[in-house]
Amino acid sequence: MSVVNRHRRSPWQRFVTYMSAHWELYLFLIPGLAVILMFKLMPMSKIVIAFKKFKPLKGIAKSPYVGFDNFKAIFADPEVWRVIRNTLEINLLQIAVCVPLPMLMAVMMNEVNCMPLKKSVQTMVYIPHFFTWVVVYSVFLNLFGTSGFVNTVIKALTGNSVLFFTNGGWFRVIRVLSAVWKGTGWSTIVYMSAISSIDAEIYEASIIDGASKIQQARRITIPCLIPTLVLMLTVRMGSVVSGGFDQVLAFYNPSVYETADILGTFIYRRGIGQADFSFATAVGLFESVVGLVFVLSSNFASRKLTGKDVW
């Protein structure tokens, strides 16, 4: 009878019963949901600014409606196309380096049998993740600045210094290196977890067949990590046009605007610096739509190629 009554209850009654039994767990969701509400959902109501000639003194409601004029201005502005090209080049280069590197590091760390050494290495590569980009910039400035350690060595050997932070090509190298240093160690956690789920009997069978450690990594570990790699790539593709704002803002300067300026910093300078809120909002909306297309496309490709997807 109790089973019958349970099935006769409405969805709302079942939901209340479930929440009353597990409400402590859902308390942990409140901070994350609050952040999403305040910084993701509430600002979406202001997207209408992209379709208006926004005047702060008039407010959003009384500002004149201009339709798609702001979007026409985007595609007519050569600076926007330069910024889009920079964004794609920089972020795709960073993804190409930063996505597979954690997997390779996880494979190498998995082969370390000395636990004290393994834990020490894990700690050292994880710590940079908790540094802000301002701190990371300070570290790299002391290493690659005009009077930094690297330039001191280069100048002693060649007599000349390398302008890592004011040369556009070297700036991109510094950006990728700093992203690798800050994020690679933390990303290995995902791959280490995936490695721990691989059936140990597969490794035991390979040992019986005489496989070496390198052969086990090539034939077992790395192939088993490919689905995880594809999922990580799919997630990162969402930031191919929107990622890197805080990093570039901390690192760049006017001398490298030509090759280092990305959509995020361009929106910041155009919207906040020049108070062109309508144009900046239109560029931001365009950035979000393109990012969504990249995520959906990469997720579709992942589903077709590996049978796994993010959602």
The tens digit of pLDDT for each residue in 190-243 reads: 898 888 888 888 888 988 888 888 888 888 998 888 888 888 888 888 778 877
Q: What pLDDT, on a 0 to 100 scale, did the predictor assign at position 144?
A: 92
In contact, 122 and 106? CB cutoff 8 Å: no
Class of domain 72-306: mainly alpha
- pLDDT tens profile 73-100: 888 888 888 888 888 888 888 888 888 8
Q: How far is CA 162 from the centre of its chain?
A: 29
Amino acid at 122: Q
Classify the phi-psi angles of 199: left when phi > 0, otherwise alpha if psi is within -120 to 50, otherwise beta.
beta
pLDDT at 304 over 50: yes
- pLDDT tens profile 122-134: 888 889 999 999 9
Q: What pLDDT, on a 0 to 100 scale, did the predictor assign at position 5?
A: 53
Q: What pLDDT, on a 0 to 100 scale, did the predictor assign at position 8?
A: 67
Domain boundaries, the chain: 2-40, 72-306
Give the Cα separation of 249 and 165 in Å (integer).
Answer: 13
pLDDT at 306 over 80: no
pLDDT at 135 over 90: yes
Q: What pLDDT, on a 0 to 100 scale, did the predictor assign at position 134?
A: 92
User: Helix 133-144 to helix 168-196 angle, to the nearest 10 degrees?
Assistant: 120
Mean pLDDT of the chain: 86
At 212, list the tokens.
């070496």
- pLDDT tens profile 47-80: 899 999 988 888 888 899 998 999 998 888 888 8
Percent of the chain exceeding pLDDT 90 equals 13
Report the 10 Å Cβ neighbour count for 264: 22
- pLDDT tens profile 162-187: 889 888 888 888 989 999 999 888 88
Report the 10 Å Cβ neighbour count for 50: 22
